Structure 1
Amino acid sequence: MTKRSAPRRHLATSPFKAPALPVVKEFALGDRVSHDRHGLGRIIGVEEGVAMLVDFGARQARIPVPYSGMDKL
């Protein structure tokens, strides 16, 4: 069993930049999207803040947050 420690907090007096938070893209039900691996599709289901269910024609895929590789058309 491996213990995971909490991420280190950024000190305001640190000379280094704070780690950037990933930008979460926003999509809505019915949006047309393009995915790097699956191609063109339409959002058919929304799990708020968790994942999107996308119909790519031949198959459906659940794309989890942060929706990497997916862009709104």
Structure 2
Amino acid sequence: MTKPSAPRRHLPTSPFAAPVTPVAKEFSLGDRVSHDQYGLGTIVGVEEGIAMLVDFGARQVRVLSPYSRMDRL
């Protein structure tokens, strides 16, 4: 079994930009949202900082953080 590798560190002399960690969007229970793939829905469950359970009518989907494809209405 192999050990997971550590993230690479950014060297200050590198000509490439430092990797940017996306900031997770904030949602709360009951918020109406729009998702690029699933459409309109309502937040019905919250796993703080990990995922949101969203009811899109036909199905419920667990959307993982940082919620880049989901916006609050």
* Shorter-chain TM-score above 0.5: yes
Which residue type is aligned with residue 20 of structure 2? A
Structure 2 Cα separation of the partners of residues 15 and 67 of structure 1:
30
Q: How much does 1:68 deviate?
A: 2.7
Residues 1:34 and 2:34 aligned together? yes
Matches within 5 A, 1:1-73: 1-12=1-12, 14=14, 16-73=16-73
Q: How much does 1:18 deviate?
A: 2.1
Aligned residue pairs, count: 73
Please, which runs of 5 or more residues in structure 2 have no aligned partner? Answer: none
Structure 2 Cα separation of the partners of residues 34 and 2 of structure 1:
40
Structure 2 Cα separation of the partners of residues 49 and 14 of structure 1:
31
Q: How much does 1:59 deviate?
A: 0.9
Give the percent of matched residue pairs that are identical in Structure 1 and Structure 2: 75
Q: How much does 1:12 deviate?
A: 4.5
Structure 2 Cα separation of the partners of residues 7 and 14 of structure 1:
16
RMSD after superposition: 1.5
